[in-house]
Chains A and B, each alone.
Chain A
């Protein structure tokens, strides 16, 4: 038998190449951002770093625009994730049935998930185009709209449009996770409940849903975190406009770095919004780890 120590050495050897990549390309940048956040490095300092202690954070605490983008981000995240979960659950329940053409339906959803967001964002800006967009045309044809709406031209409709596109793009991801969860729900429990006289809604509510909770929490956590960092969809569809109505934290941070060349301040923005995100994720993860712990206690 090989000894524990040689396992350790051999293992370290196998991990080290991947470890080196993760250290240099993922961990070092985090440290670098943290470091930069205590410096002023912008056009006023001729892009030279100058140590300013916590001035960037003080400036951030008084930056109304930062809080406006934070509100937009939270609103976007909350609304889109809730709709995605409901729609994704509906898709999963549908695909959990046996029917002819199920493979085609699943492939259609998978295609939606696999396509590049930055590219499909163009498709959505064309759909929501004010003059020649198909959304206006369809709504006009069925008699909902009397005159075309400039969807991406005014604040509230633009936010609605990007949420709409985000829901379309990511509900299939939720579906995949929940479908896997559904397939672990045993038919026996359903039969037992049916014999006890539970109708299909009651069986869903008291058998399926509780057993599906761990999967729902996983999907929720993934989607909430990705939504919070949303960049590509909004960058292409509205660029954060009109008038900052769809400007999320990631867009504001991007502009602070590359448009205003304010590297220290941008870094403080990242550290702050990241800590907020970690806090939210922990609050979400706490119940998640408890439900999972119960389910996988035998593992």
Chain B
């Protein structure tokens, strides 16, 4: 009996976590008539993919997806690359002020994006970058640097110094040690960091909403916000549900494949914060 109620509780928690998303799947498969029908149906009577079709034919949804992939991907590569260099310096070289620098990074990473959005908007406008992928790539790279430097520095500290010393004896230069010894040994850490940065970049909303005003420049998060219908009162719930499902599939795949990594990375980032 105790066992049964325990498992009931577990499944209740799983249902609670997934319910809003499952409801979007159900809604996205219904016809417009069924979406606006009472009583609410829990299994679509005439399931169809018309809303998915509408996304790609009536809206540049493929374009939003592409933009999100390009922007998040580029930011991830840039951010992890720059962080690896900085994290090596912070964790392995005897430098004055590196602790202070890490503390400053933590503080900056805690600031909410609303603080930065207007000056950045001014800068991007002055540089002519509004509606250009760089307008998002640059801030996404920057604001994920503190987190990735902290996570990578934690992992680099765990690489035994003996290996590095042996490489020095073999006559490897310092950049070579970083490139040929430390980085290959830290592949799991680099992957962890990259996955998390990608998720953060994919999910960002405020900068995407304000810097990308042209429909073809928008990312997923900002694009869905502009799916709204012809009038203010007519919200197209079907296409929105389809958009929610499509735009979250890449993240669900990431989580499904890299569960363990994500948990480790988050803990490393938070514990040092």
Q: Which residues B22-63 have CB closer than 8 A to chain A? A: 23-24, 27, 35-40
Q: How far is the CA of A22 from the CA of B36 in the complex (A)?
A: 49
Q: Does the CB pair B244–A17 fall under 8 Å? A: no
Q: Which residues A226-247 have CB closer than 8 A to chain B? A: 226, 228-229, 231-232, 235-236
Q: Does the CB pair B24–A228 fall under 8 Å? A: no
Contact of A260 with B by CB under 8 A: no
Q: Which of A8, A99, A106, A231 contacts B96 (CB 8 A)?
A: A8
Q: How many residues of A contact B (CB 8 A)?
A: 86
Q: Which residues B214-260 have CB closer than 8 A to chain A? A: 220-222, 224-225, 237, 240-241, 243-244, 247-248, 251-252, 254-256, 259
Q: Does the CB pair B112–A250 fall under 8 Å? A: yes
Contact of B100 with A by CB under 8 A: no
Q: What A residues does B146 contact at CB under 8 A?
A: 22
Q: How far is the CA of A226 from the CA of B20 in the complex (A)?
A: 22
Q: What B residues does A168 contact at CB under 8 A?
A: 16-17, 20
Q: Does the CB pair A232–B205 fall under 8 Å? A: yes
Q: Which residues A83-142 have CB closer than 8 A to chain B? A: 91, 94, 99, 101, 103-112, 114-120, 122-124, 126-127, 129, 131-132, 134, 137
Contact of B163 with A by CB under 8 A: no
* A29 smallest CB distance to B (angstroms): 4
Contact of B160 with A by CB under 8 A: no
Q: Does the CB pair B36–A17 fall under 8 Å? A: no
Q: Which of B35, B39, B142 contacts A137 (CB 8 A)?
A: B39
Contact of A263 with B by CB under 8 A: yes
Q: How far is the CA of A236 from the CA of B209 in the complex (A)?
A: 11
Contact of A222 with B by CB under 8 A: yes
Q: Which of B112, B119, B240, B256 contacts A29 (CB 8 A)?
A: B119
Contact of A290 with B by CB under 8 A: no
Q: Which of A12, A99, A117, A250 contacts B114 (CB 8 A)?
A: A250
* A269 smallest CB distance to B (angstroms): 10
Contact of B166 with A by CB under 8 A: no
Contact of A161 with B by CB under 8 A: no
Binding site for A on B (CB under 8 A): 6-7, 9-10, 13-14, 16-18, 20-21, 23-24, 27, 35-40, 82-83, 85-86, 88-90, 93-96, 98, 101, 105, 108, 110-120, 122-123, 138-139, 141-143, 145-146, 149, 174, 199, 202-203, 205-206, 209-210, 220-222, 224-225, 237, 240-241, 243-244, 247-248, 251-252, 254-256, 259, 262-263, 266-267, 270-271, 273
Beyond contacts A21-B145, A111-B18, A126-B27: 14 other A-B pairs, Cβ-Cβ < 8 A, are A4-B94, A10-B174, A29-B120, A30-B111, A33-B119, A110-B259, A112-B17, A114-B262, A116-B203, A119-B203, A120-B244, A127-B20, A222-B270, A229-B112
Query: What are the nearest 3 A-B pairs in CB distance?
Result: A229-B112, A29-B119, A118-B205
Binding site for B on A (CB under 8 A): 4, 7-8, 10-12, 14-15, 17-19, 21-22, 24-30, 32-33, 36, 91, 94, 99, 101, 103-112, 114-120, 122-124, 126-127, 129, 131-132, 134, 137, 168, 172-173, 176-177, 179-180, 218-219, 221-222, 225-226, 228-229, 231-232, 235-236, 249-250, 253-254, 257-258, 263, 266-267, 270, 274, 277, 281
